[in-house]
Homo-oligomer: A and B are copies of this chain.
Protein backbone atom coordinates (compact mmCIF):
# COMPACT_ATOMS: atom_id res chain seq x y z
CA UNK A 1 0.00 0.00 0.00
CA UNK A 2 2.99 2.28 -0.48
CA UNK A 3 2.79 5.31 -2.81
CA UNK A 4 5.30 5.51 -5.63
CA UNK A 5 7.90 3.69 -3.51
CA UNK A 6 10.55 2.26 -5.79
CA UNK A 7 12.15 -0.96 -4.53
CA UNK A 8 15.29 -0.41 -2.50
CA UNK A 9 18.27 -0.69 -4.83
CA UNK A 10 21.75 -1.98 -4.07
CA UNK A 11 23.22 -0.24 -1.05
CA UNK A 12 26.89 0.69 -1.13
CA UNK A 13 29.30 -0.59 1.48
CA UNK A 14 30.78 2.16 3.64
CA UNK A 15 34.48 1.65 4.39
CA UNK A 16 34.84 1.19 8.12
CA UNK A 17 31.38 -0.29 8.75
CA UNK A 18 30.33 -3.97 8.79
CA UNK A 19 26.87 -5.22 9.60
CA UNK A 20 25.48 -8.59 10.64
CA UNK A 21 21.86 -9.61 11.15
CA UNK A 22 20.13 -12.53 12.84
CA UNK A 23 16.70 -13.93 13.62
CA UNK A 24 16.24 -13.91 17.38
CA UNK A 25 12.50 -14.64 17.40
CA UNK A 26 11.76 -11.46 19.35
CA UNK A 27 8.21 -11.12 18.06
CA UNK A 28 7.95 -13.33 15.00
CA UNK A 29 9.80 -16.58 14.23
CA UNK A 30 12.15 -16.95 11.29
CA UNK A 31 12.65 -13.32 10.36
CA UNK A 32 15.71 -11.19 10.97
CA UNK A 33 15.10 -8.86 13.88
CA UNK A 34 18.59 -7.96 15.08
CA UNK A 35 21.16 -5.85 13.23
CA UNK A 36 24.63 -5.33 14.64
CA UNK A 37 26.77 -2.52 13.21
CA UNK A 38 30.53 -2.73 13.78
CA UNK A 39 32.25 0.65 13.45
CA UNK A 40 35.98 1.06 12.84
CA UNK A 41 38.10 2.45 15.69
CA UNK A 42 37.90 6.26 15.76
CA UNK A 43 34.45 6.40 14.18
CA UNK A 44 32.59 9.60 15.17
CA UNK A 45 28.90 9.32 16.02
CA UNK A 46 26.27 12.06 16.27
CA UNK A 47 22.54 11.71 16.62
CA UNK A 48 19.19 13.25 17.43
CA UNK A 49 16.48 11.56 19.47
CA UNK A 50 12.78 11.69 20.23
CA UNK A 51 11.45 14.50 22.42
CA UNK A 52 8.71 12.23 23.78
CA UNK A 53 8.79 12.43 27.61
CA UNK A 54 8.40 8.65 27.73
CA UNK A 55 11.66 8.16 25.89
CA UNK A 56 12.68 4.56 25.92
CA UNK A 57 15.62 3.19 27.95
CA UNK A 58 17.74 2.39 24.85
CA UNK A 59 17.29 5.98 23.66
CA UNK A 60 18.55 7.30 26.97
CA UNK A 61 21.54 4.93 26.91
CA UNK A 62 22.38 5.72 23.25
CA UNK A 63 22.06 9.48 23.73
CA UNK A 64 24.63 9.26 26.54
CA UNK A 65 27.19 7.50 24.33
CA UNK A 66 27.50 9.85 21.34
CA UNK A 67 30.98 11.00 20.36
CA UNK A 68 33.16 8.02 19.47
CA UNK A 69 31.64 4.57 19.27
CA UNK A 70 32.41 1.04 18.05
CA UNK A 71 28.98 -0.51 17.49
CA UNK A 72 25.20 -0.14 17.24
CA UNK A 73 22.95 -2.99 18.32
CA UNK A 74 19.46 -2.67 16.87
CA UNK A 75 16.36 -4.81 17.30
CA UNK A 76 12.82 -4.73 15.98
CA UNK A 77 9.75 -6.44 17.49
CA UNK A 78 10.12 -4.84 20.93
CA UNK A 79 10.75 -1.15 21.69
CA UNK A 80 12.01 -1.73 25.25
CA UNK A 81 9.94 1.37 26.14
CA UNK A 82 8.04 2.07 29.36
CA UNK A 83 10.12 -0.66 30.97
CA UNK A 84 11.78 1.36 33.75
CA UNK A 85 15.08 0.40 35.39
CA UNK A 86 14.86 -3.14 34.13
CA UNK A 87 14.64 -1.71 30.61
CA UNK A 88 17.81 0.29 31.18
CA UNK A 89 19.61 -2.77 32.50
CA UNK A 90 18.42 -4.81 29.51
CA UNK A 91 19.61 -2.17 27.03
CA UNK A 92 23.02 -2.15 28.72
CA UNK A 93 23.12 -5.95 28.70
CA UNK A 94 22.52 -5.95 24.94
CA UNK A 95 25.48 -3.61 24.57
CA UNK A 96 27.61 -5.84 26.76
CA UNK A 97 26.73 -8.87 24.65
CA UNK A 98 27.71 -6.97 21.50
CA UNK A 99 30.92 -5.74 23.13
CA UNK A 100 31.88 -9.28 24.15
CA UNK A 101 31.34 -10.52 20.62
CA UNK A 102 33.23 -7.64 19.01
CA UNK A 103 35.99 -7.19 21.56
CA UNK A 104 35.26 -3.58 22.46
CA UNK A 105 34.02 -1.80 25.57
CA UNK A 106 30.32 -2.00 26.45
CA UNK A 107 30.25 1.79 26.75
CA UNK A 108 31.29 1.99 23.09
CA UNK A 109 28.03 0.33 21.96
CA UNK A 110 24.76 2.23 21.34
CA UNK A 111 21.47 0.31 21.65
CA UNK A 112 18.32 0.93 19.56
CA UNK A 113 14.94 -0.82 19.77
CA UNK A 114 11.66 -0.53 17.88
CA UNK A 115 8.39 -2.42 18.15
CA UNK A 116 5.89 -3.11 20.90
CA UNK A 117 5.94 -0.66 23.81
CA UNK A 118 5.64 -1.78 27.42
CA UNK A 119 7.11 -5.28 27.27
CA UNK A 120 10.50 -6.51 28.44
CA UNK A 121 13.10 -7.71 25.96
CA UNK A 122 13.55 -11.52 25.81
CA UNK A 123 17.15 -11.29 27.00
CA UNK A 124 18.25 -14.89 26.47
CA UNK A 125 17.17 -14.74 22.84
CA UNK A 126 18.62 -11.23 22.47
CA UNK A 127 22.07 -12.34 23.67
CA UNK A 128 22.00 -15.38 21.44
CA UNK A 129 20.87 -13.30 18.44
CA UNK A 130 23.53 -10.66 19.00
CA UNK A 131 26.25 -13.31 19.14
CA UNK A 132 25.04 -14.83 15.88
CA UNK A 133 24.82 -11.39 14.22
CA UNK A 134 28.43 -10.74 15.20
CA UNK A 135 29.46 -13.96 13.48
CA UNK A 136 27.78 -12.76 10.26
CA UNK A 137 29.42 -9.33 9.91
CA UNK A 138 29.79 -8.15 6.34
CA UNK A 139 30.44 -4.82 4.59
CA UNK A 140 27.45 -5.71 2.37
CA UNK A 141 24.98 -5.96 5.26
CA UNK A 142 23.10 -2.65 4.85
CA UNK A 143 20.12 -4.08 2.92
CA UNK A 144 19.73 -6.92 5.39
CA UNK A 145 19.80 -4.39 8.25
CA UNK A 146 17.07 -2.30 6.59
CA UNK A 147 14.93 -5.45 6.42
CA UNK A 148 15.71 -6.54 10.00
CA UNK A 149 14.51 -3.17 11.38
CA UNK A 150 11.06 -3.29 9.74
CA UNK A 151 7.82 -3.39 11.74
CA UNK A 152 4.70 -2.28 9.81
CA UNK A 153 6.86 -1.01 6.94
CA UNK A 154 5.83 -2.69 3.69
CA UNK A 155 9.31 -2.35 2.17
CA UNK A 156 12.86 -1.88 3.43
CA UNK A 157 14.08 1.65 2.83
CA UNK A 158 17.68 2.65 2.11
CA UNK A 159 19.73 4.76 -0.26
CA UNK A 160 23.40 5.27 -1.12
CA UNK A 161 25.44 8.00 -2.75
CA UNK A 162 29.01 8.94 -3.55
CA UNK A 163 30.04 12.53 -4.08
CA UNK A 164 33.27 14.49 -4.29
CA UNK A 165 34.64 16.39 -1.33
CA UNK A 166 37.94 18.25 -1.60
CA UNK A 167 39.10 16.12 -4.49
CA UNK A 168 38.27 12.76 -2.92
CA UNK A 169 35.16 10.60 -3.09
CA UNK A 170 32.94 10.28 -0.04
CA UNK A 171 30.53 7.35 0.24
CA UNK A 172 27.35 7.31 2.32
CA UNK A 173 24.56 4.82 2.88
CA UNK A 174 21.46 5.48 5.00
CA UNK A 175 18.56 3.27 6.04
CA UNK A 176 15.31 4.01 7.85
CA UNK A 177 12.39 2.13 9.32
CA UNK A 178 9.09 3.78 10.08
CA UNK A 179 5.53 3.75 8.85
CA UNK A 180 3.21 4.76 11.69
CA UNK A 181 3.57 6.77 14.91
CA UNK A 182 5.41 9.16 12.63
CA UNK A 183 5.66 12.83 13.38
CA UNK A 184 9.31 13.06 14.23
CA UNK A 185 10.46 15.69 16.63
CA UNK A 186 14.22 16.03 16.13
CA UNK A 187 14.43 12.59 14.49
CA UNK A 188 12.39 9.82 12.97
CA UNK A 189 11.74 6.27 14.09
CA UNK A 190 15.10 4.67 13.46
CA UNK A 191 17.47 5.94 10.81
CA UNK A 192 21.17 5.27 10.43
CA UNK A 193 23.55 7.01 8.07
CA UNK A 194 27.09 5.73 7.64
CA UNK A 195 29.75 7.63 5.77
CA UNK A 196 33.48 7.34 5.37
CA UNK A 197 33.90 11.09 5.77
CA UNK A 198 36.42 12.10 8.43
CA UNK A 199 34.81 14.27 11.08
CA UNK A 200 35.17 15.16 14.72
CA UNK A 201 32.40 14.04 17.07
CA UNK A 202 31.22 17.66 17.40
CA UNK A 203 31.07 18.10 13.63
CA UNK A 204 29.23 14.77 13.28
CA UNK A 205 26.67 15.91 15.81
CA UNK A 206 26.13 19.21 13.98
CA UNK A 207 25.75 17.29 10.74
CA UNK A 208 23.18 14.91 12.22
CA UNK A 209 21.09 17.79 13.55
CA UNK A 210 21.27 19.74 10.28
CA UNK A 211 20.32 16.70 8.21
CA UNK A 212 17.36 15.84 10.46
CA UNK A 213 16.13 19.40 10.21
CA UNK A 214 16.07 19.16 6.42
CA UNK A 215 14.41 15.76 6.20
CA UNK A 216 12.89 13.83 9.06
CA UNK A 217 11.63 16.96 10.79
CA UNK A 218 9.52 17.80 7.72
CA UNK A 219 7.20 14.84 7.57
CA UNK A 220 4.14 13.44 9.27
CA UNK A 221 2.04 10.34 8.82
CA UNK A 222 -0.28 10.46 11.81
CA UNK A 223 1.05 13.20 14.08
CA UNK A 224 2.14 10.76 16.78
CA UNK A 225 5.75 10.93 17.98
CA UNK A 226 7.31 7.62 18.94
CA UNK A 227 9.07 6.87 22.20
CA UNK A 228 12.07 5.48 20.33
CA UNK A 229 12.88 7.91 17.49
CA UNK A 230 16.55 8.13 16.64
CA UNK A 231 18.59 9.31 13.70
CA UNK A 232 22.26 8.54 14.01
CA UNK A 233 25.21 9.42 11.80
CA UNK A 234 28.44 7.40 11.91
CA UNK A 235 31.48 8.91 10.21
CA UNK A 236 34.29 6.37 9.93
CA UNK A 237 36.93 8.68 8.46
CA UNK A 238 38.12 6.06 5.94
CA UNK A 239 37.80 8.53 3.05
CA UNK A 240 40.35 10.78 4.69
CA UNK A 241 38.37 13.99 4.05
CA UNK A 242 35.56 15.79 5.82
CA UNK A 243 36.88 18.04 8.56
CA UNK A 244 36.47 21.63 7.44
CA UNK A 245 34.21 20.47 4.59
CA UNK A 246 30.96 20.45 6.49
CA UNK A 247 29.06 22.48 3.90
CA UNK A 248 30.05 20.12 1.12
CA UNK A 249 29.08 17.12 3.24
CA UNK A 250 25.74 18.66 4.15
CA UNK A 251 25.05 19.36 0.49
CA UNK A 252 26.10 15.85 -0.53
CA UNK A 253 24.15 14.06 2.20
CA UNK A 254 20.94 16.11 2.19
CA UNK A 255 19.49 14.35 -0.88
CA UNK A 256 19.92 10.99 0.86
CA UNK A 257 18.02 11.93 3.98
CA UNK A 258 15.32 13.81 2.05
CA UNK A 259 14.85 10.71 -0.09
CA UNK A 260 14.63 8.52 3.03
CA UNK A 261 12.19 10.91 4.72
CA UNK A 262 9.96 10.91 1.66
CA UNK A 263 10.18 7.12 1.45
CA UNK A 264 9.00 6.95 5.06
CA UNK A 265 5.87 8.93 4.12
CA UNK A 266 5.35 6.93 0.92
CA UNK A 267 5.35 3.83 3.11
CA UNK A 268 3.09 5.50 5.70
CA UNK A 269 0.54 3.17 7.23
CA UNK A 270 -2.30 2.72 4.75
CA UNK A 271 -1.00 5.53 2.53
CA UNK A 272 -2.59 5.84 -0.90
CA UNK A 273 -1.36 9.40 -1.58
CA UNK A 274 1.94 11.24 -1.18
CA UNK A 275 1.35 14.94 -0.66
CA UNK A 276 3.81 17.81 -0.46
CA UNK A 277 2.43 20.73 1.55
CA UNK A 278 4.18 23.99 0.67
CA UNK A 279 3.42 27.05 2.74
CA UNK A 280 4.80 30.40 1.58
CA UNK A 281 4.15 34.05 2.37
CA UNK A 282 4.56 33.57 6.10
CA UNK A 283 5.84 36.22 8.47
CA UNK A 284 8.06 33.55 10.04
CA UNK A 285 9.15 30.03 9.14
CA UNK A 286 7.48 28.83 12.32
CA UNK A 287 4.15 30.24 11.11
CA UNK A 288 4.61 28.38 7.83
CA UNK A 289 5.48 25.16 9.58
CA UNK A 290 2.47 25.44 11.90
CA UNK A 291 0.13 25.87 8.95
CA UNK A 292 1.77 23.04 7.01
CA UNK A 293 1.46 20.66 9.96
CA UNK A 294 -2.11 21.79 10.76
CA UNK A 295 -3.07 20.84 7.20
CA UNK A 296 -1.00 17.67 7.18
CA UNK A 297 -2.39 16.47 10.54
CA UNK A 298 -6.07 17.26 10.11
CA UNK A 299 -8.10 14.03 9.92
CA UNK A 300 -10.67 15.86 7.79
CA UNK A 301 -8.07 17.05 5.28
CA UNK A 302 -6.47 13.59 5.22
CA UNK A 303 -9.77 11.81 4.57
CA UNK A 304 -10.54 14.34 1.80
CA UNK A 305 -7.15 13.54 0.26
CA UNK A 306 -7.94 9.83 0.53
CA UNK A 307 -11.23 10.50 -1.27
CA UNK A 308 -9.55 12.71 -3.90
CA UNK A 309 -11.97 15.47 -2.94
CA UNK A 310 -10.63 19.02 -3.57
CA UNK A 311 -12.34 20.25 -0.44
CA UNK A 312 -11.27 23.87 0.00
CA UNK A 313 -13.45 24.16 3.09
CA UNK A 314 -11.42 21.58 5.02
CA UNK A 315 -8.14 23.17 3.99
CA UNK A 316 -9.30 26.59 5.16
CA UNK A 317 -10.58 25.09 8.42
CA UNK A 318 -7.15 23.56 9.06
CA UNK A 319 -5.26 26.72 8.09
CA UNK A 320 -7.48 28.69 10.47
CA UNK A 321 -6.68 26.27 13.29
CA UNK A 322 -2.91 26.54 12.97
CA UNK A 323 -2.67 29.09 15.76
CA UNK A 324 -0.92 31.69 13.63
CA UNK A 325 -1.50 35.06 15.25
CA UNK A 326 -2.70 37.80 12.96
CA UNK A 327 -3.59 35.43 10.13
CA UNK A 328 -5.73 37.32 7.61
CA UNK A 329 -8.06 34.89 5.82
CA UNK A 330 -8.65 37.47 3.08
CA UNK A 331 -4.99 37.22 1.98
CA UNK A 332 -4.76 33.41 1.85
CA UNK A 333 -4.53 31.53 -1.44
CA UNK A 334 -4.38 27.80 -2.19
CA UNK A 335 -3.15 25.90 -5.24
CA UNK A 336 -3.36 22.18 -6.02
CA UNK A 337 -0.33 21.76 -8.28
CA UNK A 338 -0.83 24.70 -10.66
CA UNK A 339 -4.61 24.91 -10.24
CA UNK A 340 -5.62 28.02 -8.27
CA UNK A 341 -8.39 26.85 -5.93
CA UNK A 342 -8.76 29.89 -3.72
CA UNK A 343 -7.44 33.42 -3.54
CA UNK A 344 -8.33 36.30 -1.26
CA UNK A 345 -9.66 33.70 1.21
CA UNK A 346 -12.38 32.52 -1.17
CA UNK A 347 -12.87 30.12 -4.07
CA UNK A 348 -11.11 31.58 -7.11
CA UNK A 349 -13.34 32.80 -9.95
CA UNK A 350 -11.34 30.70 -12.41
CA UNK A 351 -11.60 27.52 -10.36
CA UNK A 352 -13.54 24.51 -11.55
CA UNK A 353 -14.22 21.42 -9.49
CA UNK A 354 -13.12 19.30 -12.45
CA UNK A 355 -9.66 20.89 -12.41
CA UNK A 356 -9.24 20.32 -8.66
CA UNK A 357 -10.51 16.75 -8.87
CA UNK A 358 -8.08 15.98 -11.71
CA UNK A 359 -5.12 16.98 -9.51
CA UNK A 360 -6.31 15.10 -6.45
CA UNK A 361 -6.97 11.94 -8.46
CA UNK A 362 -3.21 11.62 -8.85
CA UNK A 363 -1.15 9.52 -6.44
CA UNK A 364 1.17 12.45 -5.78
CA UNK A 365 0.52 16.17 -5.83
CA UNK A 366 1.42 19.44 -4.15
CA UNK A 367 -0.78 21.61 -1.94
CA UNK A 368 0.61 25.16 -1.99
CA UNK A 369 -0.70 27.73 0.46
CA UNK A 370 0.32 31.38 0.45
CA UNK A 371 -0.43 33.32 3.62
CA UNK A 372 0.20 36.73 2.05
CA UNK A 373 1.98 37.94 5.17
CA UNK A 374 5.72 37.80 4.58
CA UNK A 375 8.74 36.24 2.87
CA UNK A 376 9.08 32.90 4.68
CA UNK A 377 8.30 29.39 3.43
CA UNK A 378 8.33 25.78 4.65
CA UNK A 379 7.53 22.34 3.25
CA UNK A 380 6.13 19.22 4.90
CA UNK A 381 5.43 15.80 3.37
CA UNK A 382 2.42 13.74 4.36
CA UNK A 383 0.10 10.90 3.40
CA UNK A 384 -3.66 10.41 3.55
CA UNK A 385 -5.93 8.80 6.17
CA UNK A 386 -7.34 5.66 4.63
CA UNK A 387 -9.41 2.66 5.63
CA UNK A 388 -6.16 0.72 5.78
CA UNK A 389 -4.66 3.09 8.37
CA UNK A 390 -7.52 2.19 10.69
CA UNK A 391 -7.32 -1.50 9.82
CA UNK A 392 -3.56 -1.69 10.36
CA UNK A 393 -3.69 0.11 13.69
CA UNK A 394 -6.74 -1.71 14.94
CA UNK A 395 -5.00 -5.01 14.22
CA UNK A 396 -1.36 -4.27 15.08
CA UNK A 397 -0.11 -4.01 18.64
CA UNK A 398 2.38 -1.11 18.64
- The docked-state distance in angstroms from the alpha carbon of A313 to that of B224 is 12
Of the candidates B54, B314, B329, B393, the one whose C-beta lies within 8 Å of that of A303 is B393
Stretch of A4-12, A14-22, A338-346 lying at the B interface: A338-346
If A345-B84, A398-B314 touch, whether A224 touches B298 (CB-CB below 8 Å) is: yes
Per the bound structure, the CA–CA distance linking A83 and B347 in Å amounts to 8
A213 close to B (CB within 8 Å) = no
User: How many copies of the chain does the oligomer comprise?
Assistant: 2
Complex interface bits, A204-236 against B, C-beta within 8 A gives 1, otherwise 0: 000000000000000000111111000000000
| A299 touches which of B223, B317, B327, B387 (Cβ 8 Å) | B223
> Per-position contact with B for A115-144: 1 when CB-CB < 8 Å, else 0?
011110000000000000000000000000
Q: Which of A43-99 contact B (CB under 8 A)?
A: 52-55, 79, 81-84
B299:A81 contact, CB within 8 angstroms: no
Chain B residues with CB under 8 Å of A82's CB are 312-313, 316, 329, 342, 345-347
Query: Does A391 reach chain B (CB closer than 8 Å)?
Result: yes
Taking CB atoms and an 8 Å cut-off, the chain A residues in 187-211 that contact chain B are none
Q: Contact string, A302-346, partner B, CB cutoff 8 A, digits 1/0?
A: 011011010111101111111010010110000000000010111
Find out whether the CB atom of B320 lies under 8 angstroms from the CB atom of A393.
Answer: no
Q: A311-B397, A312-B117 are in contact. Are A53 and B329 (CB under 8 A)?
A: yes
A118-B312, A347-B82, A394-B304 known; A225 vs B52 contact (CB < 8 Å): no
- The interface residues of chain B lying within 8 Å CB-to-CB of A23 are none
- The answer to whether B319 and A54 touch across the interface, beta carbons within 8 angstroms, is yes
The 8 Å CB contact of A346, one of B84, B306, B312, B385, is B84
Contacts of A24 in B (CB 8 A): none
Query: Knowing A181-B317, A313-B116, A316-B82 touch, does A345 contact B390 (C-beta < 8 A)?
Result: no
- Cβ distance A190 to chain B, nearest Cβ, rounded Å: 15
Residues of B within 8 A of A393 (CB): 299-300, 303-304, 307
Chain B nearest CB: distance from A255 CB in Å? 30
Does chain B have a CB within 8 A of A368? no
A386 within 8 A of B: yes
A305 to chain B, nearest CB (A): 9
Residues of B with C-beta under 8 A to A389: 299, 303, 390
Once bound together, how far apart are the Cα atoms of A224 and B300, in whole Å?
Answer: 7
CB distance from A18 to the nearest CB of B (A): 33
Interface size class of A (residues with CB under 8 A): 35 or more
**Would A313 and B118 count as touching, CB distance under 8 A?**
yes
From the candidates B54, B304, B316, name the one contacting A316 in the complex (CB within 8 A). Answer: B54
CB proximity of A61 to chain B, nearest CB, Å: 15
Point out the residues of chain B lying under 8 angstroms from A180, CB to CB: 300
The CA-CA distance from A234 to B231 in the complex, in Å, is 56
Distance to closest chain B CB from A142 (angstroms): 29
A329 touches B54 (CB 8 A): yes
Which residues of chain B come closer than 8 Å to A222, judged between CB atoms? 299-300
Known: A52-B321, A118-B312, A385-B390. 15 other contacts (CB 8 A): A52-B320, A53-B320, A53-B324, A53-B327, A82-B316, A118-B316, A222-B299, A222-B300, A224-B321, A227-B317, A299-B393, A300-B393, A303-B394, A304-B398, A307-B393
Q: Which residues of A contact B (CB under 8 A)?
A: 52-55, 79, 81-84, 116-119, 180-181, 222-227, 297-300, 303-304, 306-307, 309, 311-314, 316-322, 324, 327, 329-330, 342, 344-347, 385-387, 389-391, 393-395, 397-398
What are 17 inter-chain pairs, A to B, with CB distance below 8 A? A52-B317, A52-B320, A54-B316, A54-B319, A82-B346, A117-B311, A117-B312, A117-B317, A118-B313, A119-B347, A224-B317, A224-B318, A227-B313, A299-B385, A304-B398, A307-B394, A390-B390
